[in-house]
Amino acid sequence: MSSPASVPDRPAAELNLGEQVTINKPATTSDTRGGADSSVMIGMYDVQKHFGDLHVLKDINLQVPSGQVVVVLGPSGSGKSTLCRTINRLEPIDSGRIEIDGVELPAEGKALARLRADVGMVFQSFNLFAHKTILDNVTLGPIKVKGMRKAEADKLGMQLLERVGIASQRDKLPAQLSGGQQQRVAIARALAMQPKVMLFDEPTSALDPEMVQEVLDVMTSLAKEGMTMLVVTHEMGFARRAADRVLFMSDGEIVEDAEPDAFFDNPQSNRAKDFLGKILSH
Amino acid sequence: MDFSFLSDDRYDFLGAFWMNVQLTFWSAIGALILGTVLAAMRVSPVPLMRATSTVYVNVVRNIPLTVIIIMMSQVLYTQLGVQLATRGERGFLATNNFRLAVLGFVLYTACFVAEAIRSGINTVPPGQAEAARAIGLRFTQVLWLIVLPQAFRSVIAPLANVLIALIKNTTIASAIGVAEAALLMNTLVENEADKYMAVFLTIAVGFIILTLPVGLLLGWVAKKAAVKR
Ligand SMILES: Nc1ncnc2c1ncn2[C@@H]1O[C@H](COP(=O)(O)OP(=O)(O)OP(=O)(O)O)[C@@H](O)[C@H]1O
Ligand SMILES: [Mg+2]
């Protein structure tokens, strides 16, 4: 097969330009791969990212083993969202390498779209498709990306809606649901793609306080089932209870990387102490 | 006022207005398709497509429509020999002129459709496209399944204005001899010089009858279709 070399890294190029897009690294399957890195689900190597002059991700190196739940903390503007968004390439990086389950993210096109389906993402503002019913929100990906039959997708969709406790709302539009319900639908929508990794960018920050717990409960149960998760959140309770690991970011760097109890009880850097002081004092 | 010309067999009012309706119908369909394509190009990640669309819209919408329509006939047909009907068939010239006029209207009106849709696309929160990309949809799917359906709902009212302008603009087809209402009006003005007022009123009312329901209907549809957020 005459497959051309990798396609140049073009920012924001999402249009499918044909089949000539290849994954940069030979795709390895889990049974041929073996070795120490076989369990690394998210791998970031020397990742750099700028917005103009602003250096938002500085030399990020991060390996998240399969099944680990990582909470990312840090002050506003420290690059937490950007970190999240580069992992499924909603935001292109300047240099470095990002791998999901050992496969490097392709630059663009069909291959990228396919790999993205392996990475579920939940946004602060839910972003449910406003013109589609709750069930259609969940089934759209399986039908259009995976080519699943509608009947099968509906069945899967209902299972997931039941699991997040909103099956009875299936025919409503997103705007008719509360924020907490919408966010649970958004989680179901991401899960419908059977992702290997779930990214959460402040999933409860836009919610009324009484709705935070219902979303955290869904996330906690996901974590218990062994989903690999990277969660940006200010919910310290969740971080302590559900996380295996806490990353503290500041100015585009991962400043601390520790187990939750170690981080909260005994932060090493001044920046983390500062941050915790502010967060915990109110 | 003397409206006696209305019952005069020499003047086919219904036929003339029917011609405007047909011009509008085909031009609207064509303009909607081309306009959507132009708007899609405008938001595409490929710089060349964006540039092409921008240049097209900014050039074509600034040419007077009369010039475009006459160019269709004089340049495209007479000079370059582009025919849109089969020569020798009955009514070749009428059909050819009709289609040339439709082509001109499509090329021109598409600019306004594209601008309307683009502004509609801008009303769709960026998070919608982002969520769609995040579940693995490709650019064309994101556009077609998520962004455009929401954009269209918010552009029904502006598109109604474009359509009303198009209905009135079809009178310019008379410049290349298409037998529509404005051409009939010219004939009447010559033949019935004493009835100016009545002639103008008739034509004006005819157009109001065509445009008013369009505005009302689409205004109602626009309200119904609005996306709730
Ligand atoms: N699209 C963009 N263009 C330019 N600058 C950006 C863009 N997105 C983010 N930034 C900047 O990059 C920096 C990091 O942003 P990011 O959203 O990753 O921070 P964050 O840690 O998620 O903050 P917050 O807690 O407020 O969500 C900020 O200074 C922000 O202003
Ligand atoms: Mg953020």
Instruction: Tell me which residues of chain A have a pLDDT lower than 50.
Output: 1-37
Distance, CA of B135 to CA of B127 (rounded, Å): 12
Distance, CA of A62 to CA of A140 (rounded, Å): 32
Nearest to A144 among B145, B149, B227 (CB): B145
For residue A215, what pLDDT is reported? 94
Are A247 and A73 within 8 A, CB to CB? yes
For residue A27, what pLDDT is reported? 37
For residue A17, what pLDDT is reported? 30
| CA atoms within 13 A of residue A107's CA, in its CB half-sphere | 17
Burial class (CB in 10 A: 0-12, 13-18, 19+), B107: buried
Superfamily of domain B4-225: MetI-like (1.10.3720.10)
Distance, CA of B20 to CA of B8 (rounded, Å): 20
Domain boundaries, chain B: 4-225
Distance, CA of A157 to CA of A134 (rounded, Å): 9
Distance B162 CA to ligand 2 centre (A): 41
Candidates A48, A54, A60, A199: which one to mutate for ligand 1, based on the most atoms within 8 Å of Cβ?
A54
Q: Which of B23, B38, B21 is nearest to B121 (CA)?
A: B38
This model of the complex carries an ipTM of 0.82
Closest residue, chain B, to A172 (C-alpha): B228
CB contact (8 A) between residue A88 and residue B134: yes
For residue A282, what pLDDT is reported? 57
User: Any CB–CB contact under 8 A between B134 and chain A?
Assistant: yes
Angle (deg, nearest 10), helices B148-169 and B13-43: 140
Min CA distance, A7 vs chain B (Å)?
A: 14
Atom of ligand 1 nearest to the CA of A252: 14
SS3 content of chain A, % helix, strand, coil (to 5): 40, 20, 40
Average pLDDT of chain B is: 90
Enter the tokens of residue B77.
Answer: 């047909």
CB contact (8 A) between residue B127 and residue A117: no
Min CA distance, B137 vs chain A (Å)?
A: 6
Instruction: Tell me which residues of chain B have a pLDDT lower than 70.
Output: none
Min CA distance, B14 vs chain A (Å)?
A: 41
Q: Which of A127, A133, A173, A191 to substitute to test the interface with B, most B CBs within 10 Å?
A: A127
DSSP B84: S
From atom 18 of ligand 1, which residue's Cα is the shortest distance away? A79
Residue type, A177: L
Are A272 and A252 within 8 A, CB to CB? no
Atom of ligand 1 nearest to the CA of A83: 18
Distance, CA of B171 to CA of B1 (rounded, Å): 25
CB contact (8 A) between residue B134 and residue A116: yes
Q: Which residue has the tokens 């064509």?
A: B30
